């Protein structure tokens, strides 16, 4: 079972990101566009792991307060293009707590440096960078989700299999 821990996005953010994808497409950007139902912010990628209950138990030790995020520009990792998230100490702290809980429980995860982003296009071919701006829409984060990733006929299918809610210590 391929697992990852993510922040799911609000409908307003999904709508804004879908509009940005449309603008990219109409500007001539080709590639594999992420379906809007799959956009998210990954806090930790676990990969193949047989016991989601064990992961949920580890996540149950994570305590965080609700916080607000804002979209923050575009960028790329090679041919992967993404929408950014404005700097947020609360987001970094939440990711750090999630990763610490996984490490304490002995659950392996991808230890790449946390770089918050929302994947829009994979294998992108860009002739020129379109001048697209993201709207300044706040998104309240009050939960994090354990997600399962399955390969479907038309790409990846992400399913929430557990959630923890923000709260007080």
Residue-wise pLDDT for 66-99, tens only, equals 999 999 888 888 888 999 999 999 999 999 999 9
Of residues 100 and 76, the one with the higher pLDDT is: 100
- Mean pLDDT estimate for the chain: 92
Burial 134-165 (b: 16+ CB within 10 A, else e): beeeebebeebbbbebeeeeeeeebeeebebe
Mean predicted confidence (pLDDT) in 113-120: 94
Asked if residue 129 has pLDDT above 70, the reply is no
Query: 74, 84, 76, 97: which is closest to 5 by C-alpha?
Result: 97
Domains of the chain: 2-165 (3.90.1140.10)
Is-contact 118 37, C-beta < 8 A?
A: no
168 pLDDT band, cuts 50/70/90, is: low
Asked if residue 35 has pLDDT above 90, the reply is yes
What is the reported pLDDT for 128?
Answer: 67
For CA atoms 91, 32, 77, 44, the dihedral sign is positive
Query: 147, 126, 135: which is closest to 45 by C-alpha?
Result: 147
């Amino acid at each position: 079972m391929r697992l990852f821990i993510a922040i799911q996005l609000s409908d307003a953010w999904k709508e804004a990101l879908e509009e940005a994808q449309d603008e990219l497409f109409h500007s001539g950007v080709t590639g594999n566009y992420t379906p809007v139902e799959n956009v998210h912010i990954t806090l930790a990628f676990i990969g193949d792991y047989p016991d989601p209950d064990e992961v949920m138990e580890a996540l149950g030790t994570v305590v965080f307060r609700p916080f607000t995020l804002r979209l923050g520009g575009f960028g790329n990792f090679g041919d992967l293009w993404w929408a950014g998230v404005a700097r947020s100490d609360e987001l970094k702290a939440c990711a750090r707590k999630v990763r610490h809980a996984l490490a304490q429980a002995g659950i392996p995860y991808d230890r790449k440096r946390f770089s918050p982003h929302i994947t829009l296009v994979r294998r992108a071919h860009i002739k020129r960078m379109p001048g697209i701006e993201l709207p300044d829409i706040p998104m309240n984060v009050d939960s994090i989700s354990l997600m399962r990733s399955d390969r479907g006929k038309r790409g990846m299918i992400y399913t929430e299999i557990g959630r923890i809610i923000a709260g007080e210590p």
